[in-house]
Structure 1
Amino acid sequence: MTETSPASTPASTLAELAQLAGVSVATVSRALAGNPVIAKATRSRIEVLAREHGFQLNQAARNLRLKRTGAIAVVLPLGHEAEQHLSDPFFMSLLAPLADAIADRGHDLLLSRVIPRDDRWLDAIVDAGRADGVIVIGQSNQSAAIERVAARYRPMIVWGADGQSQAQITVGTDNVAGGRMAAEHLLNQGRTRLAFVGNIEVPEFAARYAGFEQALHHAGTSAATLLPVHLTGDASYSAIEDYLAGHPSPDGIVAASDVIAMSALRALAGHGKRVPQDVGVIGYDDVLISMYTTPSLTTIRQDVARGAKTMVDLLFQRMEGQEVASVVMEPELILRNSA
């Protein structure tokens, strides 16, 4: 009689693999799912056995049994900026570390760019049951819709401005401090005719403008312009170009984003204005391309890598039923050549 080797009788079920490993079915299931509760040596032994027997955990069946999808929805609502795309430098800088952090948790990323047609767009996403949790990138002009859903749906984290007495849990930079920091830098250079360029319908931009105004008030000046431009490069360039064609140029610009600041550099050059000699320009975000503009862009840095990891950490804590609080990160002034 010939003895049959374990490899010649492949395990086709969790129970068979558990019997071979000498552990419970639950232990095998947790080990193959990478659960850190199972000792590393035990996980490794079970994983080796699974490979030898060509066994793969049916993740779809497991998720169905546990009422999970194995996916996290990342949603970008563009209520005020229908022309903005995923190729926007800020989105790209945030999505990469966000995707890595979600993958590290063993989940897939389900990405949606949403142009809201009514105030139920977020309800449709959370009620579809396609994801275990939701991360919303930016509040746009959709704060009311986000807040209403946040009051009833816990596994959701929002990148955006922190507000008082709100249901939504947010991660973001202290935008008021960032706007104030940018204006103070220009004022300290002796610039007296400042402009804030950005659409303050966006809560984050409104907070940056509030900080900008605080700096002017503290300096005892009100000589400032608010130019509410759209976020895309072409739209912001056209608006700044039109303004410069019909008004005296400011001597200092605080832009609500780096994309807007880059449009300002282009428009100013077209009008023969030297940066920073005639006009100092400060952006916001510190996207990668900002150091390669001409001149290189002085900007307010948001630590998006830290923010991405924090959002994922908070989301998974909420998914586990834990209580969490919003996180506000400190901005940093990055000095380059434009101001």
Structure 2
Amino acid sequence: MKLADLAVLAGVSTATVSRALAGHSSVNTKTRDRIRALAREHDVRPNQLARNLRMKNTGAIGLVLPLGHARTQHLTDPFFLTLLGFLADLLVERGYDILLSRVIPDADDWLERVVDSGRIDGLLLVGQSDQFAVIERVAQRYRPLVVWGAHRDGQHHLTIGSDNVAGGRMAAERVIAGGRKRLMFVGDPAPPEFADRLAGFAAAAGEAGLACEVLATPMMPEIVHAAVAERLGQGPAPDAIFAASDVAAMSVLRALAEAGIDVPGTTAVVGYDDVTLAAHTSPSLTTIRQDLAIGAGLMVDRLLKRIAGEPAESAIVPPSLIARQSA
């Protein structure tokens, strides 16, 4: 049975049937319920994709993790899982389907291919990776795009993210207040968020008259572990280590334990993110918390405003120090 046949049964126009099945407010509740009951009885299912194309919306939001700098990283990373979970819950509550993708940029137009696919109404990017310039270019002509990441003066793309510079400062101030003088940063200093964490950490160290050693390493756990183990074998251990993420900090804790170095007696360790596992390491991990529930809410709010054609601006979520046993 076609919509026109259903319209005859219901005694209304085909357009009214179409609007009723789409839940349009222009059809009164009684008529809408009667048409939907007839549709169920006669197994009438309007072509959702065709209707979406006519209405110029898909009912779906893209959720993309771009991996330009860390191609072997997975969605199973606790930080990504937590943020993606919050975002997915909020989008489903608002009636959207989710198109989830882990993208390894293979060409300069990878983001254009995502936003021009016709499959989504808007896009949430989780992280900037090393794709800042690509995101900037696309954001100048594609408005419903919101990014979890760092903000730079004058940038075009809308970001929600932690104040990473302030977070780095908090980490340094914590260990310096504990009398630590040989400070080290562990992580990849290239992505904007990690670069800001290092900048805040190094600035606070410099203001205290202290140097900041940088152990630059890709962020995969096994690689972080190997890099820290190698460094510990080359000379005296630093008495404070700030890792660019909690997952990296857990690899630091493992390497220190294997080298027989006491935490926090000899070396204090601070992470970043406050993932659930941070409270369950041994010793429990002192870290800088990003409030991902607030951040996810801001991302979805700003995206829906952009989809509706309303103004929406970037926002920064203040970080906080979560003091535990490791520092």
Q: 1-side partners of 2:109 and 2:6: how far apart?
A: 42
The yes-or-no answer on 1:77 pairing with 2:61 is no
Q: Is the 8 A contact 2:168 2:198 kept in 1?
A: yes
Q: 2:174 aligns with which of 185, 191, 205?
A: 185
Q: Which structure 1 segments of 5+ residues have no match?
A: 1-9
The yes-or-no answer on 1:225 pairing with 2:213 is yes
Q: 1-side partners of 2:217 and 2:309: how far apart?
A: 41
Q: Please give the secondary structure, in 2, of the residue aligned with 1:246.
A: coil
Q: Is the 8 A contact 1:253 1:282 kept in 2?
A: yes
The yes-or-no answer on 1:310 pairing with 2:295 is no
Task: Give the aligned length.
Answer: 323
Q: 1:52 to 1:30 in 2, by over 3 A?
A: closer
Q: 2:125 aligns with which of 112, 136, 140?
A: 136
Q: 1:50 aligns with which of 7, 17, 36?
A: 36
Instruction: Specify the alignment match of 1:149 in structure 2.
Output: 138
Q: 2-side partners of 1:182 and 1:38: how far apart?
A: 56
* 2:113 maps to amino acid: A
* 1:105 maps to amino acid: R
The yes-or-no answer on 1:209 pairing with 2:201 is no
Q: 1:44 to 1:258 in 2, by over 3 A?
A: farther
Q: Is the 8 A contact 1:261 1:281 kept in 2?
A: yes
Q: Please give the secondary structure, in 2, of the residue aligned with 1:227.
A: strand
Q: 1-side partners of 2:89 and 2:264: how far apart?
A: 38
Q: 1:236 aligns with which of 199, 202, 224?
A: 224
* 1:311 maps to amino acid: M
Instruction: Specify the alignment match of 2:150 in structure 1.
Output: 161
Q: In the TM superposition, what whole-angstrom CA distance separates every residue of 1:252-296 from its partner, at most 9, and x where no partner exists?
A: 111110011000000000111111111111100111111111111
Q: Is the 8 A contact 1:18 1:24 kept in 2?
A: no
* 2:20 maps to amino acid: V
Q: In the TM superposition, what whole-angstrom CA distance separates every residue of 1:224-272 from its partner, at most 9, and x where no partner exists?
A: 2111111111111111111111121111111110011000000000111
Q: 1:28 aligns with which of 10, 20, 23?
A: 20
Q: 1:272 to 1:110 in 2, by over 3 A?
A: same
Instruction: Specify the alignment match of 1:200 in structure 2.
Output: 189
Instruction: Specify the alignment match of 1:122 in structure 2.
Output: 111
Q: Please give the secondary structure, in 2, of the residue aligned with 1:74.
A: strand
Q: 2-side partners of 1:288 and 1:43: how far apart?
A: 45
Q: Please give the secondary structure, in 1, of the residue aligned with 2:233.
A: helix
Instruction: Specify the alignment match of 1:176 in structure 2.
Output: 165
Q: Which structure 2 segments of 5+ residues have no match?
A: none
Q: 1-side partners of 2:275 and 2:22: how far apart?
A: 40
- Normalised by the length of structure 2, the TM-score is 0.91
Q: In the TM superposition, what whole-angstrom CA distance separates every residue of 1:97-138 from its partner, at most 9, and x where no partner exists?
A: 111111112111111111112222111111222211111110
Q: 2-side partners of 1:91 and 1:98: how far apart?
A: 10
The yes-or-no answer on 1:106 pairing with 2:98 is no
Q: 2-side partners of 1:308 and 1:110: how far apart?
A: 16
Instruction: Specify the alignment match of 1:277 in structure 2.
Output: 265
Q: 1-side partners of 2:288 and 2:9: how far apart?
A: 55
- Normalised by the length of structure 1, the TM-score is 0.88
Q: 1-side partners of 2:196 and 2:151: how far apart?
A: 9
Q: Please give the secondary structure, in 2, of the residue aligned with 1:60.
A: helix
Q: Please give the secondary structure, in 2, of the residue aligned with 1:87.
A: coil
Q: Is the 8 A contact 2:188 2:218 kept in 1?
A: yes
Q: Please give the secondary structure, in 2, of the residue aligned with 1:111.
A: strand
Q: 2-side partners of 1:17 and 1:51: how far apart?
A: 11
